[in-house]
Amino acid sequence: MLDPAGEATRAAAARLGVDGVRSLRIGKAIELELEAPDQTTAQAQLELLSDRLFANPVIENWQLELLEKAGEQQR
């Protein structure tokens, strides 16, 4: 899907002299702290939030990864 803000930024990269930017998309980062009794519950709640509130699945994709070392979850 067309990301007009990403395309405008890609054009600006070329004007800065960096011609090799093949694609550039601009998304969102959401930081949250969540309290939950266990990891399974937290995972389910994050999936619910991602699917029903943070992202509109009609136009946006999301994925949830657990980063073991950092001990935190990120979208």
Partner 1 sequence: MTIGIVVFPGSNCDRDVRWALEGCVGLPTRFLWHEERDLSGLDAVVIPGGFSYGDYLRCGAIARFAPVLELVRLFAEAGGAVLGICNGFQVLTEMGLLPGALTRNARLHFLCEPTPLSVKPGNCRWLTGYSEAEAIVLPIAHGEGRYQCERAQLAELEANGQVVLRYASNPNGSVGDVAGLTNAGGNVLGLMPHPERACDPLTGGLDGLRLLASLCN
| Residue closer to partner 1 (CB basis): 53 or 70 | 53
> What type of residue sits at position 24?
L
8 is a site residue for partner 1 (CB under 8 A)? yes
Handedness of CA 46, 51, 55, 57 (dihedral sign): positive
1 is a site residue for partner 1 (CB under 8 A)? yes
| Residue closer to partner 1 (CB basis): 18 or 26 | 26
Task: Copy the structure tokens of residue 64.
Answer: 């949830």
Contact (CB, 8 A) for 75 and 54: yes
Binding site for partner 1 (CB under 8 A): 1-2, 4-5, 8, 53-54, 56, 58-59
